[in-house]
Amino acid sequence: MSWIKNLPSLRLLGDLLVEKEKITKEQLAEALEYQKQKGVRLGAALAELGYITESDVLEVFSQHLEIPYVQRLDRRVLDGMGADYSFISEFPVDTITRLGVVPFKLEIETQIDQVTQVWKFHVILSDPWMYDEISMLV
């Protein structure tokens, strides 16, 4: 998961949203107070206050983590990503639905030494913080 290399540099959501001009500093301050009162995540607080949408949060995180953001998943998107439908069919639908993870392609590369293989397991995530759930598939 190449995006994991970016996690140490991940900044706070509020700072990212202000930097990307999705919200103002004043809206952030109000949402932080709302978050404390309601006990919800910052993104949820901002959405409940009507300042942003879930798509805004996902778009900002995807840019920062350097991972593609797909707003609507359909066959055309999967085709564009080179999905291997026989590979996808190896995973039970209930597992995919429960985890919010769609494994869509497996690439196996043989290294120059002709002995070592690198397996690249491509997935579409509903939440990139679900590392434990992703590892259950591998």
Same domain, 125 and 91: yes
The SS3 call for residue 66 is coil
Same domain, 98 and 124: yes
Which two structure tokens, joined as six digits, stand for 44? 């949820």
Same domain, 58 and 103: no
- How many CB atoms are located within 10 Å of the residue 64 CB? 17
More confidently predicted of 138 and 29? 29
Least confident of 3-7, 67-71, 129-133: 3-7
More confidently predicted of 126 and 76? 76
Mean local confidence (pLDDT), 23-45: 95
Q: Which domain holds residue 115?
A: 75-137
More confidently predicted of 112 and 33? 33
Whether residue 128 contacts residue 3, with contact meaning beta carbons closer than 8 Å, is answered with yes
Q: Provide the pLDDT for residue 99.
A: 81
Q: What is the pTM of this model?
A: 0.62
Asked whether residue 61 is assigned to any structural domain, the reply reads yes
DSSP one-letter code for 102: E
DSSP 4-18: GGGGGGPPPHHHHHH
Same domain, 57 and 24: yes
Same domain, 87 and 35: no
Name the domain count of the chain. 2
Asked whether residue 107 is assigned to any structural domain, the reply reads yes
Task: Identify the residue whose tokens are 């990503």.
Answer: 81
Question: What is the distance between the alpha carbons of residues 112 and 105, in angstroms, rounded to a whole number?
Answer: 22
Alpha-carbon Rg for the chain, nearest whole angstrom, is 18
Q: Provide the pLDDT for residue 34.
A: 97
* Beta bridge partner(s), residue 102: 124
